[in-house]
Structure 1
């Protein structure tokens, strides 16, 4: 009788989520990251792009209004994979070695990957997609804790004909479990990334271990390439142009509760021509680019649908946490001039032979309602959607303020998995985790109690977020701008002159953080890496930042640096 009562009590406590993680069946964890997707590019964040499966995760789970990344691919992935700030993990600039530990271009041994930690907690660990945190084979996923791995190693990839290199098609190292492979003819990389992940999940289901999957798509990163059937869905969809589309997205964001009507939105980007000033032929060209960009995200969503169907078939959907994010904001920079040339142009936009880019007019829409672009520390560069889904654990339809960062994801996963982050690993002392677990926010709705600011530095661009305040500086300028994000997330009113005491406080915080993380002045590093990713355009390190928008008259489009 007593045994029956005890079992009933345990079942009740388990159902209520009261039992500690180690006493429960450990959940599966899936982390989905897309590449170069703007804040407003999902239906659940105000987009017209058809993303029903991702929107399902949002409406049945939680969305954050404020989730931050590191503004560009490799530093973002360094923080995500390790839970460290990028310099502390060894990738303070990019996946290139600049000869200093904080800028070595690959993950150091002191910064453990979530695969290494979760593996010790009994997880099967899987990655499928983009790596970009260590080009040398000594630093590939299989060497950093992943049991199964498929994907490309570097920063960018075609979506078709990978491995069939020409003088104009950039080399892409496609690897499965440490072996170099080629993409099969007529295969589309987004589909292959998902299909390999599903294969690994099915293999994992044969044992009793939970699985961790890092699903890292390269879509919608350039080049613009997508299956014809997805492109066809958007034929004529963008005839209204970027000015009207931005207004429509803002209206939807306010209706959804993603954008606060009391907050100022970014001013119109003065570098972007007014849509109605373009010729008919120019409009047709630009429309086609956005049709393909939308198709690429549409295809990602279809693949998320396949993944969800697999979880349901395996009866793992009720015990799986899924987190969905983007690595940075959409990329600005017109292709009318400058260093980022088209690699090839042997077919229409969207096909395997094309090598087109979204460019600034549409990127300005993608980052709605924020200002600026990828590799810039204004909100358009570092803001991303954040969606968390866990049936019966996360309250459906939740929209929270958040103010979370990449460094918080690894602690969250360890908390959920009941995994202990070790003080040492394989004889090496580990870097302490600077982030906080989001589990109380996700499961209980408790606001984040961080206690310390969030910091950024990349290619001389710097920022600090502390409470309502944000301090930001764009290289080569040294002066700080100050914004009250609580009322002005569009960063329209610089309060630095009016609140010098706040500027000093946050600047002092930044100086201490920079010293602790071995951040070097960008001008000191500059001579060593002219011409490397993110150094072209309007000054070293511009990296696709676009340009600070001030609204007003149309000016001649200019080229900004690319970066990966």
Structure 2
């Protein structure tokens, strides 16, 4: 009986093993079939975004068009800019940041890190075959967005391009993955109507293709919408972004919704001369200028406020109300970008840089010989229509002088008023909070800063051609509170545009405001003593004057300064 049980048990074990073997073989076959499917599924599954500590820093570059030095609340201005003021509290305000004297010139230097002649914008509005005067980004530089794109960044822009109108010079060919660009220097803020005779319809492209302005949209609102849509399109792929918010506000024509300018109604009835004095004192109180700073004489083009009729004064005050409304709206939209970054968890890993592209704008083309006839035929300057889509208004040299306090002159000049612009930097890598830095910086320093932040090595050649290294220097060590200044007393910064020129070396400044350029017209100022450029000391310091003249001669030859004939007009 025991033997039967043993045989039965052996039989049961054998049958069970055979059964289990069949099951294992069958299931293993299924597993083998499923492995490729699992691999495919896993490869298609969206990878989680990198944590802010491991992802490369994002960069948000915001440029205001023709914003004056004294406008922002954090700089002492009386226009409501709460979002930019908060950004200033979280970062650093720079009181001696220098751009170029005109829009396109600054943009060429900004996106190249080099001098304007090296970058191809020796004369805004002039397109030639002469090196330095191509009228677009030259092949002597590697464009900032292109290098960041090659480093794995998403690159987006919306707003004013002004660096070429041909397909070859479009943002889409300079490294921007997505772009909505106004190709020329200015446009109607409410529609696609042109403001220049050669462009009766303003030229826009999206991603390199011709497009039109959407109806019932306002420029600053729409550019912000577009940038947020670009960011949303690749939000969770783990790649960093470089965003260029190239706003066209508060550039003329002064146009904005009534709800933005109404809050300033009556605020500027005291006139531009009084406003200039108020700005001087508020800048001192904010710590942006020395308590001893004084105002230079007004530009000869400025009419005394008291010489205006009551009707003229009303119209002048409305100009400033509209301008303030545009700045107010600009701040609102910058706040929208910041809120988006916070809501999506990207704010802590983003370096935010805000600047103006030049000094306050004094052009008033509605009454000019070159642009006036077209503008007067297609727009109105009547008081009742001011600020609307059919209105063309500029605030002119009178209000530009107020916004440029305490500096001499305004946009278009190589004086401090034309080039000393607001700069605020906050966010990733900025250690100081609420600090004011008075070190001399230029717009050429920003591209090298972004390269260091992103770990990008500037190449010796780009697209098969040798390129020049940036003339600016990274300011990351300054942002990290490791240094107080970047450029020492031997650093030479120079610029020429349409005969107006400057050379800066330490606190010494060689400057010419006359055109055409005559070396004998250069003046010498010691900016460590005064910022108003009123005490010409070239007779007191002849050796220093000659030293800087030699520096000028060397620099101008190195970049290829020439004097081709520009287009008519005062610049855009």
Instruction: Please say whether Structure 1 and Structure 2 have the same fold, judged by a TM-score greater than 0.5.
Output: yes
- What's the counterpart of residue 161 of structure 2? 131
* Secondary structure at the counterpart of residue 82 of structure 1: coil
- Residues 370 and 165 from structure 1, CA distance in 2 versus in 1: closer, same or farther, beyond 3 angstroms? closer
* Secondary structure at the counterpart of residue 76 of structure 1: helix
1:476 matched to 2:510:
no
How much has 1:387 moved relative to structure 2? Answer: 0.5
Distance 1:104 1:229 in 2: 42
1:432 matched to 2:469:
yes
* Secondary structure at the counterpart of residue 101 of structure 1: coil
Distance 1:444 1:165 in 2: 45
How much has 1:262 moved relative to structure 2? Answer: 3.1
- Residues 337 and 205 from structure 1, CA distance in 2 versus in 1: closer, same or farther, beyond 3 angstroms? closer
- What's the counterpart of residue 416 of structure 1? 453
How much has 1:316 moved relative to structure 2? Answer: 0.7
Distance 1:336 1:353 in 2: 16
Distance 1:128 1:394 in 2: 29
- What's the counterpart of residue 349 of structure 1? 386
Alignment match of 1:398 (pick from 414, 435, 448): 435
Alignment match of 2:352 (pick from 322, 325, 328): 322
1:466 matched to 2:525:
no
Distance 1:266 1:114 in 2: 38
- What's the counterpart of residue 274 of structure 2? 244
Distance 1:337 1:424 in 2: 44
Distance 2:61 2:226 in 1: 15
Distance 1:361 1:165 in 2: 22
Distance 1:468 1:48 in 2: 30
1:187 matched to 2:202:
no
* Secondary structure at the counterpart of residue 233 of structure 1: helix
Q: Give 5+ residue unaligned stretches, structure 2.
A: 1-51
* Secondary structure at the counterpart of residue 86 of structure 2: helix
Q: In terms of Rg, which structure is larger? A: 2
Alignment match of 1:300 (pick from 330, 334, 343): 330
1:377 matched to 2:419:
no
- What's the counterpart of residue 560 of structure 1? none
- What's the counterpart of residue 499 of structure 1? 541
Report matched runs for 1:83-232 at 5 Å: 83-162=113-192, 170-232=200-262
Query: C-alpha offsets along residues 78-113 of structure 1, whole Å, 9 cap, x if unaligned?
Result: 100111111111111124312202101111223111
Alignment match of 1:66 (pick from 96, 121, 133): 96
Query: Contact 2:254 / 2:319 at 8 angstroms: preserved in 1?
Result: yes
* Secondary structure at the counterpart of residue 155 of structure 1: coil
Q: TM-score, normalised by structure 1?
A: 0.87
- What's the counterpart of residue 26 of structure 2? none
Alignment match of 1:255 (pick from 270, 285, 290): 285
Distance 1:427 1:391 in 2: 34
Query: C-alpha offsets along residues 200-221 of structure 1, whole Å, 9 cap, x if unaligned?
Result: 1112312110000011011111
Query: Contact 1:125 / 1:211 at 8 angstroms: preserved in 2?
Result: yes
- What's the counterpart of residue 518 of structure 1? 560
Distance 1:92 1:484 in 2: 27
* Secondary structure at the counterpart of residue 289 of structure 1: helix
Distance 2:196 2:429 in 1: 51
- What's the counterpart of residue 312 of structure 1? 342
* Secondary structure at the counterpart of residue 259 of structure 2: helix
How much has 1:391 moved relative to structure 2? Answer: 5.5
* Secondary structure at the counterpart of residue 65 of structure 1: strand
Distance 1:284 1:296 in 2: 19
How much has 1:163 moved relative to structure 2? Answer: 5.4
Distance 1:68 1:383 in 2: 5
How much has 1:466 moved relative to structure 2? Answer: 0.8
* Secondary structure at the counterpart of residue 441 of structure 2: strand
Alignment match of 2:305 (pick from 261, 275, 279): 275
Q: TM-score, normalised by structure 2?
A: 0.85
Which structure features the higher share of helix residues?
Answer: 2
